[in-house]
A and B are shown apart, each in its own frame.
Chain A
Amino acid sequence: GEDVEQSLFLSVREGDSSVINCTYTDSSSTYLYWYKQEPGAGLQLLTYIFSNMDMKQDQRLTVLLNKKDKHLSLRIADTQTGDSAIYFCAVPNNAGNMLTFGGGTRLMVKP
């Protein structure tokens, strides 16, 4: 089955850029997703990218997709303390009915 890997932890200073990385094994997914989870809360959809795109920008968020290397990244510009959370990348299966999540990257933003 699908395997999705993320680094566990990232610490940045307020105002810096954050880059969260994700690798996956199944290249047939049509869309790839980034979700944010704050303590004790559900998952908030942040953004997604279609598999035929290399880059998608949405305000402070930039998603980069390297299909050859099966690598997805999320860049947050001008990171704020409110961005502190756990970030998950998620990859659908071929049928599109199941998301496989990475283990999550905990982002800590220091003032």
Chain B
Amino acid sequence: ETGVTQSPTHLIKTRGQQVTLRCSSQSGHNTVSWYQQALGQGPQFIFQYYREEENGRGNFPPRFSGLQFPNYSSELNVNALELDDSALYLCASSDSGLTTDTQYFGPGTRLTVL
């Protein structure tokens, strides 16, 4: 059984650019959630995808968008990058068919915006 993987590990962008982050869910999981973790803070929920549809969204602007593919992998896209977007972006997968719906996290992508 493979765990949650994310790519790339690190990324440096400049203000105004666009970025795409990728996530492969744990084997057997059909749901992917994305979180932003700023330095020294707890993770903040961005959105969740279930069966290729958005299934809940946190307090993030529309320039944060996502996709889920038929194999349940997912992308997070951020347009018009701002300095405050610098953070660790965490992807979590879960199986919505289970009672616990526990989320398992990947290692994260560290995004730096200059």
Contacts and interface: CB of A to CB of B under 8 A. Distances in A.
A96 B95 CA distance: 11
B101 A88 contact: no
Contacts, number: 57
Interface size grouping (class) on chain B:
20 to 34
Contact of B105 (A35, A97, A100, A104): A35
Contacts of A35: 105
A41 B107 contact: yes
Interface of A: 4, 31, 33, 35, 41-45, 48, 88, 92, 95-104
B89 to A, nearest CB: 10
Given A43-B90, A88-B42, A103-B42, A97 B55 contact: yes
A97 B106 contact: no
A104 B4 CA distance: 22
